[in-house]
Structures are given as C-alpha cells and as structure tokens.
Chain A
C-alpha cells in the first residue's frame, strides 16, 4: 500500500495545533492530579479522622473506573463543558494513582527516621518538611514518572466529548479523506514526539535520584 505523503505533510499544521491542546489538557490534568494525590496521601499518612475513609473510597473509585466513563459522566451527566471536563476527568483519574504513588513513598520512610527527628527536637512540621518529605518524594519518583506518562497517553480518549486533540484530528482526516493509514501513522508519530522527551526526562530524573541515593 502506497501512503499519500504530500497529504501527510500537509496535515502537520493541524496536528501541531492540536498537540498544544493535548499538552495543555495533560499538563493541567497532571498538575491537578499531583496536588490531589499529594493532599490525599498526606491525609492518609497523618491518619486524619473522618477523612481517611472518603479518601480511600475516592482512590478506589478513580482507579477502578475507565477515563471514558468519567468523561461521559462529567460531560453528559453533569453537563460540564468539553475542555474543563477533559482536565477534570484526567485530574480525577490521576489523583487516585498519584495518591497511591505518594502514599507508597511516604510509607517507605522508616518510623525510626521520624522518631529520631522528633527526639532531636524538631517540630512536627520540621520533621515532615526536612526529613519525611524529601525521602518520600525520592522513593516516589519512579511511580510518579510512570503516572505522568500514563496520564499523557490517557488523554487519547478525550475526543469523545468533542475536544479537538490529536486523536480528533486523525479521526477528522480519516472521515474527510478516508486515508486511514496515513492519519494513523501521523498520529503515532505525533504521540512519539510528545512522549519521547517526557520518557527521557523521567529516565534521567530516575537516574539522578538513584545516583543521589546509592552513589552509582
């Protein structure tokens, strides 16, 4: 099968414009998810009364329902507009995964670290700020990195609520010109261009953290 290369090249500006939408949704969604996840994990770590149960329920709900379903519920059920809906759904899904990543990091900090810090006269705040958090974040880096990549890829379903991301562009090209192979090859290349730098950055960060902790 011959690919229609001139048409593929002509579609680059369309993909480039839509790539900003994809990136914007991913970046806002991931940042919000990180904030939600960190807050949730902290509440669980501090064993706050009344909050632990709802947070655990949230983590299970967000991680055990597909993003597609969350999008449909927000857009058609709760009547949220397309773009905010995409960001909110991504933050909702990501929040659960991020909370688990941060929780694992926090739990990896040994009790003796906290006890030592407190017995040295550090306040609770200082203990968390200078002892627990730095170590927890370092252990959480691989899981958070994996979540970032996962969430960026999950944006590929947001076009069901009429957001013009790169998947929507590919679907448009297929439905207008019926050049399915061309549009899908362009889509794969677009995702590779978006994801490869993120993957490399995560990989470098992991190596740096590993070097800082283990010295090799």
Chain B
C-alpha cells in the first residue's frame, strides 16, 4: 500500500506541474507590454517558401514575413522591431499558450479545433488541401490513395483531414523538409499539404506535380494570438482592414508569391482587408 501511494504521489505531482505554464503566460502580450518591450515576437516558418523561409543570407522572407514586418511598422514605427521565432506546424499553438510569441504568422489555417485554443484574427490568405505526387505514379483523385501510404506533416490541416478518412496509411513527419525528402525517396504515393504550398514545391521540383488540389473546403488562413488576447486580435483586424485600402495583400503577393505562382490568379489565394 505504501508503494502504491508513492506512485500516486508521482502522478499527482506531474499533473500538478502541468498547470504551471498557464500561469506564466500572463499578459506579457498586451499592446502596452509590447510597446514597452520595443519589439514584436512573431512565430514564422523557416522552411516553407514562399510563405515563411530563411533565405541564403539568413534573413526571414516570404508572404507571412511581409505581413509581420508591416505589423511591426504599424505598431512600433519600424519594420525591423521583430524577434522572429522559427516554428513547426505542430508547435504553433504551444508557442502562443506558453507566451513565447505574441502573434503566429505561419500559414495558420483556421479550424474549429484550433479556434478553441487560440484566437484567430481576420484572414489574409486562403487555401484548400492538395496532393503532390511523382509524375511516374500520379495521384489524380483521393480514391487513388486507397490502400497506399500518404505523407503528411504532423499537425497540419491535411493531417487532420486524412486522419478522419480510413483506408489510407499516413506517414507523419514533424519537419516539412523531412516530409518532402521522404516524398523524393518514394516513401509514399503522395504528399498532402496546403494546395498553395504543394503547388509552389512542385513548381520548383521537376518530375513532381499536383494531381489534385481541391480537397476539403477552401479554408481561411489568419494571424493567431493567445486565447483571450482580444486587444491584440482587434488591433490586427483593424490593421488588416486599413491595409486592405491600399491593396497590401496584392503588394505582398507580387513581392513574394508571384515568382512561385506565375499563372495563378491572385484573387484565388489572397484575402484583402480581412474580407473572406
């Protein structure tokens, strides 16, 4: 009995400790706190061109980063007053909940599961799910994947979507770059991810193409803040509406996305002024 109660105490201690991070994230991300600190803390991708990536000079680039810099200019008067945190898809919620970043600008698709844990601002982009495959064994529709392996990146909308289907074996990687390497190595019949991303990747990689690009709904992609931080969310919304008047999303598209989607209509991808 004594041994058993010791074991229970260990479990109780673990459960107790799990409550600590919630207290630690207390309001360091209010607008007053950000202005006092002097820089915005924003999470972006490091390996997801053309949305968020680190270029060969070590600088953060991409559509998300273009918006992040403008947010810093609007709030703090200088687009360089940002501390970028590089993230993976699965970490985006935790970065906000633990208070390590103020805003996530990492191609973050709005889903009900996510909306329970973070507050989404108005969208600035939109996408469906697409499957990229080797031209030798093309995937033209979702049924082509029955009984086969499909590579996904853990925590993405594609992961959630295909986890709910049966008959397709998912091969899950944490790193986007690892997942694409796995596709090159033939570890799956295809790779499912946001259509916008797989289109861009297929454009850069000969021998691969996007056979199906309209899986699921067209979902909004939006900046996210910590749950309950309505002040910062409202500020982002107001700023997006204001930027819409100068067609900022279109400028961001021309500056960052156009080289990747030469022939795609910008209106199919961008959301101007938060108007989804």
Contact = CB atoms under 8 A, between A and B. Distances in A.
Interface in B94-108: 94, 97
Contact of A175 (B18, B154, B171, B178): B154
B90 interface: yes
Given A76-B178, A168-B172, A176 B18 contact: no
A171 B90 contact: yes
B159 A176 contact: yes
A160 interface: yes
A174 B90 contact: yes
B14 A162 contact: no
A178 B113 contact: yes
Interface in A182-210: 184-185, 188-189, 192
A76 B172 contact: no
B36 interface: no
Contacts of B22: 1
A180 interface: yes
Contact of B185 (A76, A159, A192): A76
A126 interface: no
Contacts of B18: 1, 3, 181, 184-185
B178 A172 contact: no
B275 interface: no
Size category of the B interface is: 20 to 34
Contacts of B33: none
B70 interface: no
B174 interface: yes
**Of B114, B172, B175, most A-chain CB atoms within 10 Å:** B172
Nearest to B160: A176
B154 A171 contact: yes
Contacts of B185: 76, 79
A162 B154 CA distance: 10
A168 B18 CA distance: 20
Classify the secondary structure of B's interface with A.
helix
B163 interface: yes
A6 to B, nearest CB: 15
A172 B175 CA distance: 14
Given A3-B15, A76-B178, A178 B173 contact: no
Given A1-B22, A171-B154, A175-B90, A160 B178 contact: yes
A180 B97 contact: yes
B90 A185 contact: no
Contact of B159 (A175, A180, A184): A175
Classify the secondary structure of A's interface with B.
helix
Contacts of A164: 172
B19 A175 contact: no
Interface string B101-142: 000000000000110110000000000000000000000000
A181 B97 CA distance: 11
**Of A79, A162, A168, A189, most B-chain CB atoms within 10 Å:** A162
Nearest to A178: B117
A177 interface: yes
B182 interface: yes
Contact of A178 (B93, B154, B182): B93
Contacts of A181: 18-19
Given A3-B18, A171-B154, A185-B18, A76 B90 contact: no
20 contacts: A1-B19, A3-B18, A76-B181, A81-B187, A160-B175, A162-B171, A162-B173, A171-B174, A174-B155, A175-B89, A175-B90, A175-B154, A175-B159, A178-B113, A178-B116, A180-B93, A188-B14, A189-B11, A189-B14, A192-B10
- State the 10 A-B residue pairs at the shortest beta-carbon distance, nearest first: A175-B155, A181-B18, A1-B19, A178-B117, A175-B90, A178-B93, A1-B22, A162-B171, A175-B154, A188-B14
